[in-house]
Amino acid sequence: MKPFLRLDNGNLICVNPGFLQEKLEIGLFWTIVNVLEGNDRRSAFETWGRLFERYVSQTIGGSVAVGVETYFPHPNFKNKKHHHESFDGVLVLGRVCVVFECKGGFLPNAAKYGEDLDAFVEAFDAKFAMGHGAGVEQLARKIGQIFAAKPADRREPEGIDLSQIEVIVPVMVAHDSAVSSFFTIPWLAKTFRDAMRKQSLTRRVILTSLLVAHIEELENLCTFGRAGKLVLSECFLFGGKKGDPRQGHYFVFEDILLEFLNVNKIERLPSRAAEQKFKNVLDRVCIRLFGKTFESLPGEAGQN
């Protein structure tokens, strides 16, 4: 609740800047949720999850290359009355299908910032790996249902013809930065690969490695899509072909995007919108702490 220390001279310091950044980003969410109990608390989590899914779908849907690729937000399974949503989103480019699972949840602070590794592993697995309804578990289960080897076992999504798909790129979009780190992506990729080995898929499809993107990384990618600089599906396919992160071969989604831009000689776009958002955050913090907006030190004006 109090991430700053006040020194004798009146200055404030933050021992853990990463924790402070998280407080600024999702602190309001926890402030609301922590005063709720029972059904109200559960409803708040569910509402936040739906809002996050909708935001991801709007971000992707507004950035696709029209006439080249097609995006289907949260398609349902056919002939199912309850719990009938398939993926949170499906992006189709010819015979390539990118399937999305969105996770707007967060690890508890005790698990993320505590010193108990077992607590972290348990919480992480339950929310993002193989717990029921976790990100990897849902991706593996739904891919297995739609592309089952036996026709009688298959379930079809409404409004999408996936009968000609040959390549599947699984993508998890997360809000918690701990999910898309150098340390957790290899874990999730291996977990997904092990889960898919238990599935019996039709021989016509090939699975790429799992991609895990933080919401900010997805926003960066979609900035180029909205500007007509790239095709989203091609970037995801490029990343999926890189293979699972492993010892000596670590990467995050931002690395994939940067490499894709370099390979295709796509110029970087100015991040004026991001800079303005950052300035707004600094202003709010400074007003709260010092009663005035952020001011650059002499000689720093205009520097990034």
Strand, coil or helix: 58: helix
pLDDT tens for residues 208-247?
Answer: 999 999 999 999 999 999 999 999 999 999 999 998 887 7
How far is it, in rounded angstroms, from Cα 47 to Cα 37?
15
Half-sphere exposure for 244 (CA within 13 Å, toward CB): 15
User: For residue 162, which amino acid is it?
Assistant: L
How far is it, in rounded angstroms, from Cα 85 to Cα 194?
24
pLDDT score of 94: 96
Burial of 40 (C-beta count, 10 Å sphere; 0-12/13-18/19+): exposed
pLDDT tens for residues 247-286?
Answer: 777 889 999 999 999 999 999 887 666 677 778 888 888 8
pLDDT tens for residues 34-60?
Answer: 899 999 999 998 999 999 999 999 999
How far is it, in rounded angstroms, from Cα 152 to Cα 235?
34
Of 201, 175, 180, 210, nearest to 99 by C-alpha is 210
For 121-127, the CB contacts below 8 A with 24+ separation are: 124/178, 124/179, 124/184, 124/187, 127/103
Phi, psi dihedrals of residue 169, rounded to the nearest 5°: -110, 110
CA dihedral 255, 261, 262, 266 (to 10 degrees): -160
Q: Which domains does the chain have, with CATH numbers?
A: 64-267 (3.40.91)
Instruction: Calculate the average pLDDT of the chain.
Output: 89
pLDDT average, residue stretch 284-300: 77
